[in-house]
Amino acid sequence: IAPTTDGAHMGQTSFSTLGSMDLHLTGDPVAVKAEIDSVVTGGFTNLMEGIALATEELDNDAGDGDAHDRDDTISPDFMIIITDGAPNEPGTDTNAKAVAKAAADAAKAAGIEIFVVGVGTTAGTATYLRDNIASGSDHYFDVADFDELETILENIAECDGGSA
């Protein structure tokens, strides 16, 4: 997955106890790599905030005069979620799962195609992510650890043309 000025643009949100808009959509591969390399694991899993922030970034009509997305008819929207756990923030695990599903449903309704890579998940977590967050079972990938991540991401990029 390689962002370019005239091709795919990438951005990054992260989610732990809170969600964070880490990098606005850009065609700068150096900025993208630096931001990916700066992610720190740990804490809780506030999947809802990560999805909501990414959805807002991919909204062509953000209303703030600072939209970073391009015309969806030319550059469709894709979200790739990489997570090693089930949502457990905000509130109880049950609430966290419900609000994350609602955020994913809203993103899909806005035309965003969601791919999910579960890293080291349990059977229950994998089922939840596949059935509630990903755009379909063919949009969910399970890997044992982060060492397998690059291959999965390359397959996702080839599958959809690498647009974002």
Beta-strand relationship, 113-119 and 78-83? parallel
Amino acid present at 127? T
DSSP at 149: H
Model pTM?
0.86
Are 31 and 25 within 8 A, CB to CB?
A: no
| Mean pLDDT value across residues 3-22 | 87
98: left (phi over 0), alpha (psi -120 to 50) or beta: alpha
Cis previous bond, 90, omega within 30:
yes
Please write the tens of the pLDDT for every residue from 81-137. 999 878 999 987 889 999 999 999 999 999 999 999 999 899 999 999 999 999 999
